[in-house]
Each structure stands twice: as C-alpha cells, then as structure tokens.
Amino acid sequence: MILLYEIAPLLYAFPLVPVILVLVAKRRRFRSKTTAYLFILFGLTYFFAVYITFPPARFSIPLSYYYRISLALLWPLLFIFSISSSWGKSEFDTGVRLSLWPDALFIFLIGYFSFIGTSSLVVPDKSEAIDIQFPLRDGSFFISCGGSSIFQNHHAMYGDSQSYGYDIMQLNESKNSSIGFLSSKPSDYFIHSTDVYSPIDGAVISVVDSVGEGVPHNRDSQGGAGNYVLIKRDSISILLAHLLKGSIAASVGQEVKAGQFLGKVGLSGDANEPHLHIHAYKGAPSEMISGGIPVLILFEGDFLKRADVVQVVKHK
C-alpha cells in the first residue's frame, strides 16, 4: 500500500502548488502594492524551499532529478512573467497598508518557507565527523535522504543514533532510479543487488543475513535494519543496512579493510524501496538504531545532502 505521507509531497510540489501560484499571479488583480510584494516574496521563498528539500524522502520519482531544475528555473520564471503581465492591469490604492487577510498569511508563509530553506543549508560542525569512503562503486548514486535538517533527512527528526543517516539510491543514464513508476518488483530498482563495500578499516561486531525480501511501497515498519553489517573503528560504529539476504560476506569478529566487499543492496527490514542506508554513531551494538550518539559522516571530505549525486568512476 502506498502510504498517504508518500502522496502528500506530490501535492506539495509536483506540480499542484506551482500551477496554482502561477495562475493566481496571472489572474489576481491586486489593490495593494504591499500585498503584491508580499505575494511575490512568498512565491519565491516557496520555490526556494521546495527546491532545497525536494524530492520527498522515501519516495522515488523518475522525473524528480529534472523536476528540481524546473523548480529552480522554469516555475519561478513563469511566476514572475505571470506577475508582470497582471501588474499593469492592477489598480493600486495609494499608501502602504497591511491587512489581516491575506497579508498576515503571506508574512507567515514567507517566514515558514524561509526557515525550511535556510535551515536546510546549514552544515553541522565537522570537527567530530568521521571521514569514510563511499560504500558503492561504478555508477551514479543519488542521496534520497541526507543532511542535518528534518526537511531533508527524516532520520534527523528522531534525535537518535541515525540522525545523520543517509539513504542512497542508484540512477541510470536517464537519471531514473527504477524501471517504471512505483514498481512492486525489487529488481526493477537499479540499486538492487549492487555491491556494497566497507567504507572503513574496522572490526565487524554484528551481522544479520536472514531477513527475506520485502515488497516496494509496502513497508515492514517493525523490520528495523533488516540484513546489515555493523563495523566498529575505535569508538565509532557504522551501520550498513537493508542488504540482500544471503549476500553478506562478512562475519562477526572479522577485520575488514576499506573497499572490501561486504554484500549486496536489497530490500530487507523497514525500507520502502531498495536502497542502502548508512549511519555512524557512538554506543553499543544494541543502540545502532536508537540510544546511541549520532556521528556526522563525511564521504572523502564531503558532507552530502538530499538530491546530491555522487558519480563513482569505474574501479579496476
């Protein structure tokens, strides 16, 4: 079942609200220049916020990679063009005045979307981050969930071990993450069965390799990390989760090197689509999901956020 919270972001940004904004901008005849300026500022802060936070987490949209470009360019241009075409037809009152409706609403929305956009640009303190290798090879990989803001990273809202967690998907040459739209076959997602490599030198402290495949868009909310490998270096542990049953090539107590094969991406545990989940934390193995202290991850010096694309060249 496709959950309601997965559909809601489509109504938020794909493309109902932008269409409404453009139509209102073209047809509305403003009486107050104050209201007109507030409406313009609201529209621009909306496009900015949605561009920064789109696409929605836990939802793969084949066109989302390109739609973000339209959010940055096409829709704002259409919005400004529509405003300019209606501006000359408006008969403005003289003087400056604020009204409860709709000025107060526009002021609230400007503040709301400005907060969403600017808070999502904040980079956390990197002084205690762990710098690791990217765990996937030979392809184009899409950060479907990542960053320090709850508007870009749903893991951040829990305030636990996985607060700085990443969800990673794979794109083909057309920038799609799957064959078809909302496919119910795990193998239709390009990241499925992709090799996963250890991002660090460390000791394997916990492994699960017995959880069967799920069905896309039918989450097992009690499934947790599914099949996973948990690696510890010094006081920091790194979890690589939602792996394919029977693919894991590591065992508890084994010392692994960065770049060593660990397993393959699957759809096990609490996962909506095949993807690789990774996060770092300080704490006991039992605290890998909750209770531990989250640790910021840098991939070879880079702090990644939602919608970033990592191009990994082919390794020999």
CA 186 vs CA 5, 166, 178, 225: distances in Å = 21, 20, 9, 17
- Residue 25 to residue 13: CA distance in whole angstroms: 17
The predicted structure's pLDDT at residue 63: 55
Distance CA 316, CA 314 (A): 7
**Range in 68-82, 108-122, 263-277 with the lowest mean pLDDT:** 68-82
Structure tokens at 171: 């794109």
pLDDT at site 1 = 35
Q: Can you name the residues that pair with 151 across neighbouring β-strands?
A: none
Q: Taking 80 as the threshold, does the pLDDT of residue 23 lie above it? A: yes
| pLDDT of amino acid 5 | 42
HSE-CB for 236 with a 13 A CA cutoff = 17
For residues 145 and 56, the answer to whether their CB atoms sit within 8 Å is no
User: CA-to-CA distance for 275 and 261, rounded, in angstroms?
Assistant: 17
C-alpha 95/C-alpha 165 separation (Å) is: 51
Q: Quick one: which of 240, 275, 308, 277 has its CA closest to 60?
A: 275
Which domains does the chain possess?
4-119 (no CATH), 130-312 (2.70.70.10)
The alpha carbon dihedral of 239, 242, 245, 247 has a sign of negative
d(CA 103, CA 98): 6
What's the confidence (pLDDT) of residue 8? Answer: 47
* H/E stretch holding 72: helix 64-72
Task: Give the pTM.
Answer: 0.87
Q: pLDDT, tens digit, for every residue of 44-83?
A: 999 898 888 876 544 444 456 777 777 788 889 999 999 9
- Checking if the pLDDT of 36 tops 80, the result is yes
Each residue of 157-192: pLDDT tens digit? Answer: 888 899 999 999 999 888 888 887 778 899 999 999
Return the closest-CA partner of residue 107 out of 52, 33, 34, 25. 34
pLDDT at 12: 57
Token representation of residue 176:
């799609």
All residues at 6 or more sequence positions from 48 whose CB lies less than 8 Å from its CB, including other chains: 113, 114, 117
Mean pLDDT: which of 24-28, 183-187, 191-195 is highest?
191-195
What local confidence, expressed as pLDDT, does residue 10 receive?
53
